[in-house]
Amino acid sequence: MWRALNQFSRSRFSWLLLLVSVVGLEATALYFQYHQSLAPCVMCIYERVALFGVGAAALVGVIAPQNAALRTLGLLGYGVTAAWGLKLALEHVSYQFPDPNQLFGPTCDVAVNFPAWAPLNQWLPQVFEAYGDCSKVVWQWLGFSMPQWLVGIFSAMLVVWGLVVVAQFIGRPPRRIFS
Active site residue 71: no
Could you say which of 10, 12, 71, 134 is catalytic? 134
Active-site pick, 12, 41, 175, 176: 41
Active-site residue, 134 included: yes
Rounded Cα distance between 54 and 26, Å, is 11
| Residue 41 bears catalytic tag | yes
108 catalytic, yes or no?
A: yes
Burial of 92 (C-beta count, 10 Å sphere; 0-12/13-18/19+)? buried
Task: Please identify which of the residues 3, 10, 12, 44 carries the catalytic annotation.
Answer: 44
Looking at 3, 10, 12, 108, which residue is catalytic?
108
Provide the sign of the torsion angle of the four alpha carbons 115, 30, 138, 39, taken in this order.
positive
Q: Is 3 labeled as catalytic in the residue annotation?
A: no
Among 3, 10, 12, 48, the active-site one is 48
Residue type, 144: F
Among 16, 18, 4, 15, residue whose Cα is nearest residue 156:
18
Measured distance CA(178)–CA(147) in Å, rounded: 54
Residues acting as catalytic residues: 41, 44, 48, 108, 134
